[in-house]
Structure 1
Amino acid sequence: MNLHVAMAGRSMNVPHLRGTGRYEQELLRNTRPGDQLQWTAYGHNPAQPFRVPEGLIGHAEVFEFRGDRFHLWEQLGLPRKVRDSGAQLLHCAENTAPVWQPVPTIVTIHDTVPWEEDRRGLDRFYMHDVQRMALRRCAHVITISESSRRDIATRWPFLADRLTIIPHGIADEFFSDVRVPLPAVLQQSLGDAPYLLYLGGGQPRKRFDWALELLARSGRDDLHLVGCGFGAGTAPLERVPEALRGRVHFAPFLEDSELVTLYRGAQAAIYPTLYEGFGFPAVEAQAAGTPVLFSPVSSLVDLVGPLSWTNEPQDFDAWLASLREVLALPAAVRAEKAAAAVAWVRTFSWRSSVERHFEVYREVLARSQRR
């Protein structure tokens, strides 16, 4: 029997994909004709591209709904569309869900960070009160790590028996032999200089300043730093010490193929985040054959692989020692570790992840039909 699943896909309806949008896109991209499943993916903004993959098995629709101040697109517009579409299930892949659920609804909660932020007024009411009602009604919750599962069950104990962990996968571009050049602006600023790669953007928990301090104390005046994850016009130039100006560069938005090239060219990836629901860079760096430094906190404890160097989050001296060790690695040792890391990363398959999603869908539908 063909299964018809609706998806709230606003994170694909954007100028540039980020983590959640990539997750939604991979669910659609890795669906095959033999899966007996079709999608209807919904976006909310006709003024922006809707980045559903080519060859989508199903239908994509972008529609506006008045009253977005109260998130009415999600609470009224989306349920109405789903009710009239003939879909048997709704997958809300972006942490939140409607209270009105005309069909059994599955929500992916990537982590609990959105509920730990300082919210005020209607925004707080929506996230803490409206979403609590919506989550009570959801048929099932998917999350991406054991760490996130624990956090979700602690915050909403009523979800404890409706939680399934399905880790993310790694994009196919990381296993391709194709080499795509970096954007010209980055090539021009870097030249042939060796560089470290910082992943994470400007959020305090990502600790861009930590990466700057590692660069400053690395003992290598020829070493540069490339910062990723900063939106257009948000690069924190004022946080770069005068002594490091000219050695710190901010990457523009990169396609996956360009990001792979940036990873592969780095001496090491620096990922000093204090909390993640999954932590793509910890795996992506190793998939690209690049050593990565991070702290084994939250979900990152599950991402320690053959090409990772881990230290306690506040032990800067240990981080610095690890960086110097990585920079001094003999080429043969690095190549051996890189080969082992690529083999390990292949266990993070998007196709396997998608198949496990389908198992949840069919279990939820069967359960609802029995009721």
Structure 2
Amino acid sequence: MPSHPASDFWQHVTLPRWLAAHSASAYFSTAHCVPALSGGARRIVTIHDLGPYRFPGMNPWKFDLFLKTNFRLCATVADAIVADSQAMADEIESILGVPRSRIHLALLGVHPRFRRLNPDELSRILASRPEIADLPKGFILSVGEFNPRKNYHRLVAAYAGLKTTVPLVLAGPTGQARASAEQRADALGIRERLRFLGYLDDDGLLALYNLAGCFIFPTVYEGFGLPVLEAMACGTPVLCARTSSIPEVAGEVALMFDPTSEQAIAEALRRFLFEPELADRLARLGPTQAANFTWQKTAARTAEIIESCL
């Protein structure tokens, strides 16, 4: 949230006093905020991405200013900065000027709830979610907030060129890019082939992944890319952008494409639709790739980083 006098006072005055009063050895922040004064504690912070630098203007200017101010403070005073991916570690070094010796890598994990469901489990979830139950099985799925960097406008245009009746389902919190995606679908005459779903809880997402024929992630920028692993864990073939952190997450178990090219996105979709052996291979290998990323590993690595600062 944007800077506020009360929260600033807590972060930069109350928190350091508390750390000093309790002789804290370390303070770990999970998201880009650290106190300017240490209170005698080592300060460790995670920076998930540097979106305001890569996509200026995507957020309200006050929010971008708040984020950039906190990023710069982290770069100046943090004893260690944790990155979710090597791609983000590189950006923290190049954009914020943080020495490599202060940047540490802790990959994220996928929750074990994301898995292949048996028919009874799937039926129980769908019983209370008619908006999902009504979808034809085997649709093309994309999940994420509707903001410009998710690249839905190119996905919609690429999909429009395909001669297919397989619907495209876009699910995620409504954002500034949804209206433009809907308008583009209307202009291209494919509105009836698209389904727009809003925010879904974990069970809703789990059902979607299990019902989808494939999952496509056309993002142009990510700090990690959890939806890729969630889909893989459910045995859903993944098509994803070859950009930022995504190759680290997907490994060799996804069909990758250039997210800036509508033609490349369309070709990836075409291969999924007309090369069933490719889809079968990706579905088979996905759960094994996802199993490499666990929150237990993330926690253990984070603990190592904190201990190394003491």
Query: TM-score scaled by structure 1?
Result: 0.71
Match of 2:100 among 160, 173, 186: 160
Residue in structure 2 matched with residue 21 of structure 1 by the alignment:
none
Q: Deviations over 1:310-367 (max 9, x none)?
A: 122233333222212212343x6644432222112211111111111111111112xx
Q: Deviations over 1:44-92 (max 9, x none)?
A: xxxxxxxxxxxxxxxxxxxxx9724x74443334444444556432111
Residue in structure 2 matched with residue 113 of structure 1 by the alignment:
51
Q: Retained in 2: the 8 A contact 1:269–1:293?
A: yes
Match of 1:203 among 140, 147, 151: 147
Q: Retained in 2: the 8 A contact 1:146–1:299?
A: yes
Q: Structure 2 CA distance, aligned partners of 1:315 and 1:235?
A: 20
Match of 1:302 among 226, 248, 251: 248
Match of 1:142 among 67, 82, 85: 82
> How has the CA–CA distance of structure 1 residues 234 and 185 changed in structure 2, closer, same or farther, with 3 Å as cutoff?
farther
Note the 1:1-371 alignment, pairs <5 A: 67-68=5-6, 71-84=8-21, 87-102=24-39, 103-116=41-54, 117-118=56-57, 126-129=66-69, 131-175=71-115, 177=117, 178-179=121-122, 181-182=125-126, 184-187=129-132, 190-192=134-136, 194-220=138-164, 222-231=165-174, 235-236=178-179, 237-241=182-186, 243-330=189-276, 334-365=279-310
Could you tell me the percent identity over the aligned residues?
Answer: 24
SS in 2 for 1:241: helix
SS in 2 for 1:261: helix
Q: Retained in 2: the 8 A contact 1:99–1:130?
A: no
SS in 1 for 2:140: strand
Q: Deviations over 1:147-198 (max 9, x none)?
A: 111110012324421111111011111236443524524236x443642112
Structure 1: gaps (5+ residues):
1-9, 11-64, 366-371
Measured after TM superposition, the shift of residue 201 of structure 1 is 2.4
Q: Structure 2 CA distance, aligned partners of 1:201 and 1:171?
A: 19
Q: Structure 2 CA distance, aligned partners of 1:206 and 1:123?
A: 19
> How has the CA–CA distance of structure 1 residues 232 and 133 changed in structure 2, closer, same or farther, with 3 Å as cutoff?
closer
Q: Deviations over 1:112-151 (max 9, x none)?
A: 1134434888656644456424432211111011111111
Structure 2: gaps (5+ residues):
none
SS in 1 for 2:142: strand
SS in 2 for 1:269: strand
Structure with bigger RCO (C-alpha 8 Å, 6+ apart): 2
Q: Structure 1 CA distance, aligned partners of 2:23 and 2:174?
A: 38
Q: Retained in 2: the 8 A contact 1:305–1:341?
A: no
Aligned residue identity for 1:349:
T
Q: Structure 2 CA distance, aligned partners of 1:66 and 1:311?
A: 42
Q: CA RMSD in A?
A: 3.0
Q: Structure 2 CA distance, aligned partners of 1:225 and 1:307?
A: 22
Aligned length: 298
Q: Retained in 2: the 8 A contact 1:97–1:107?
A: yes
Deviates more, 1:282-291 or 1:191-200: 191-200
SS in 1 for 2:305: helix
Aligned residue identity for 1:136:
T
Deviates more, 1:161-170 or 1:131-140: 131-140
> How has the CA–CA distance of structure 1 residues 80 and 244 changed in structure 2, closer, same or farther, with 3 Å as cutoff?
farther
Q: Deviations over 1:231-267 (max 9, x none)?
A: 3898424443162233322223222232122012112
Q: Deviations over 1:281-336 (max 9, x none)?
A: 22222222112222211111213345411122233333222212212343x66444
Aligned residue identity for 1:204:
P
SS in 2 for 1:181: helix
Q: Retained in 1: the 8 A contact 2:148–2:177?
A: no
Q: Structure 2 CA distance, aligned partners of 1:232 and 1:143?
A: 26
SS in 2 for 1:278: coil
Q: Structure 1 CA distance, aligned partners of 2:145 and 2:53?
A: 20
Q: Structure 2 CA distance, aligned partners of 1:161 and 1:99?
A: 21
SS in 1 for 2:125: coil
SS in 2 for 1:186: helix
> How has the CA–CA distance of structure 1 residues 131 and 352 changed in structure 2, closer, same or farther, with 3 Å as cutoff?
closer
SS in 2 for 1:240: helix
